[in-house]
Structure 1
Amino acid sequence: MRFLTALSIAVLSWEASASPVVEKRQAAQRITINPARTYQEIDGFGFSAAFQRANLIINLPAPKQKQVLDLLFNTQNGTGFSILRNGIGSTPNSNSDYMNTILPRNPGSPNAAPQYVWDRKDSGQLWLSQQAVSYGVSTIYANAWSAPGFMKNNNNDMNGGSLCGVTGVTCSSGDWKQAYANYLVQYIKFYAQENVTVTHLAFLNEPDLTTSYASMRSNGQQATDFLKVLNPTLKEAGLGDVQIACCEGTGWNSGNQLIQEISRAGGDSLYHLATAHTYTSDFNGPLQTTKKFWQSEYSDLSSSNPWTTSWTDGLKWAGILHRAMTVGRMNGYLWWEGVQWPNPNTNEKLILIDGQNFTVAKRLWAFAGYSRYIRPGAYRIDATGGNLQTSAYLNKDGTIVVVILNTGNNAANVQLAGITAASAESYVTDNTRDMGSQAVTVASDGSVSGAVPARSLVTFRITV
Structure 2
Amino acid sequence: MKLSTLAPAFAVLLATAAHAQTVTTVRIDATKPHQTIANFAASDAWAGQFVGNWPAAKKEAIADLLFSQDKGIGLSMWRFNIGAGSAEQGAASGIKDEWRRAESFLTPAGTYDFTRQAGQVWFLEAAKKRGVTQFLGFLNSPPVSLTRNGKAYATAKQPNLAPDKAGALAAYCVRVLEGIRQKTGITFAYLSPVNEPQWDWSDGGQEGTPFQNTDITDISKALGAKLAASKLPTQLLITEAGKLDYLYSAADKPGQGDQIGAFFGDKAAPTYLGGTPRVAPIIAGHSYFTTSPYAQAVATRQQLAAKVASVPKLGFWQSEYCILGDNAGEINGGPRDLGMKPALYLARTIHADLAVADAAAWQWWLAISPYDYKDGLVYIDKNKTDGQYYPSKMLWALGNYSRYLRPGTVRLDAQLADPASAGQPLVSAYKSANGKQLITVVVNDYDTPATVQLALNGGRLGAGKTYVTSATADLQPGAAVPAGQPLRVEPRSVTTLVSELR
Pairwise same-fold verdict (TM > 0.5): yes
Report if the CA contact (8 A) 2:49-2:118 is conserved: yes
| Partner of residue 410, structure 2 | 379
Following superposition, the deviation at residue 389 of structure 1 comes to 0.9
Unaligned runs of 5+ in 2: 1-12, 91-97, 249-256, 292-296, 326-331, 418-423
- Structure 1 position 328 matched with structure 2 position 357: yes
Report if the CA contact (8 A) 1:152-1:161 is conserved: no
Q: Deviations over 1:228-270 (max 9, x none)?
A: 211111011022x312111112111234423333342222223
Following superposition, the deviation at residue 128 of structure 1 comes to 0.6
- Structure 1 position 348 matched with structure 2 position 375: yes
CA distance in 2, matches of 1:448, 1:155: 64
Following superposition, the deviation at residue 340 of structure 1 comes to 1.5
Letter in 1 for 2:179: F
Following superposition, the deviation at residue 380 of structure 1 comes to 0.5
- Structure 1 position 162 matched with structure 2 position 162: no
Equivalent of 1:186 in 175, 192, 195: 175
Following superposition, the deviation at residue 215 of structure 1 comes to 1.6
CA distance in 1, matches of 2:449, 2:240: 40
Report if the CA contact (8 A) 2:463-2:480 is conserved: no
| Partner of residue 449, structure 2 | 411
| Partner of residue 100, structure 1 | 103
What SS is found at the alignment partner of 2:238?
strand
Q: Deviations over 1:183-202 (max 9, x none)?
A: 10011111211111101101
- Structure 1 position 254 matched with structure 2 position 227: no
| Partner of residue 13, structure 1 | none
Q: Deviations over 1:49-69 (max 9, x none)?
A: 123x11443344433333222
CA distance in 2, matches of 1:315, 1:433: 13
Higher helix share goes to which structure?
Answer: 2
Letter in 2 for 1:225: D
Are residues 332 and 358 of structure 1, via their aligned partners in 2, closer, same or farther at CA, if it must alter by over 3 Å?
same
Are residues 462 and 77 of structure 1, via their aligned partners in 2, closer, same or farther at CA, if it must alter by over 3 Å?
farther
CA distance in 2, matches of 1:385, 1:209: 39
Letter in 2 for 1:274: I
Are residues 437 and 219 of structure 1, via their aligned partners in 2, closer, same or farther at CA, if it must alter by over 3 Å?
same
Are residues 181 and 409 of structure 1, via their aligned partners in 2, closer, same or farther at CA, if it must alter by over 3 Å?
same
- Structure 1 position 312 matched with structure 2 position 341: yes
Q: Which has the larger radius of gyration?
A: 1
Report if the CA contact (8 A) 2:316-2:359 is conserved: yes
Equivalent of 1:81 in 75, 78, 97: 75
Q: What TM-score does the superposition give when structure 1 sets the normalisation length?
A: 0.84
CA distance in 1, matches of 2:127, 2:139: 20
| Partner of residue 190, structure 2 | 200
Report if the CA contact (8 A) 2:114-2:180 is conserved: no
CA distance in 2, matches of 1:266, 1:47: 29
Q: Deviations over 1:345-378 (max 9, x none)?
A: 1111111111421112111111011111011111
Report if the CA contact (8 A) 1:405-1:458 is conserved: yes
| Partner of residue 399, structure 2 | 368
| Partner of residue 420, structure 2 | none
Following superposition, the deviation at residue 408 of structure 1 comes to 2.1
Report if the CA contact (8 A) 2:333-2:374 is conserved: no
| Partner of residue 6, structure 2 | none
CA distance in 2, matches of 1:161, 1:195: 37
Letter in 2 for 1:231: G
| Partner of residue 226, structure 1 | 219
Following superposition, the deviation at residue 394 of structure 1 comes to 1.0
| Partner of residue 467, structure 2 | 427
Q: Percent identity?
A: 25
Unaligned runs of 5+ in 1: 1-20, 107-113
| Partner of residue 293, structure 1 | 316
Following superposition, the deviation at residue 448 of structure 1 comes to 4.6
What SS is found at the alignment partner of 1:268?
coil
Q: Deviations over 1:28-70 (max 9, x none)?
A: 433232222111111121111123x114433444333332222
CA distance in 1, matches of 2:220, 2:58: 42
CA distance in 2, matches of 1:216, 1:60: 31
Q: What TM-score does the superposition give when structure 2 sets the normalisation length?
A: 0.78
What SS is found at the alignment partner of 1:127?
helix
CA distance in 1, matches of 2:231, 2:410: 30
CA distance in 1, matches of 2:161, 2:22: 66
Are residues 442 and 190 of structure 1, via their aligned partners in 2, closer, same or farther at CA, if it must alter by over 3 Å?
same
Are residues 152 and 321 of structure 1, via their aligned partners in 2, closer, same or farther at CA, if it must alter by over 3 Å?
same
Letter in 1 for 2:191: L
Following superposition, the deviation at residue 133 of structure 1 comes to 1.1
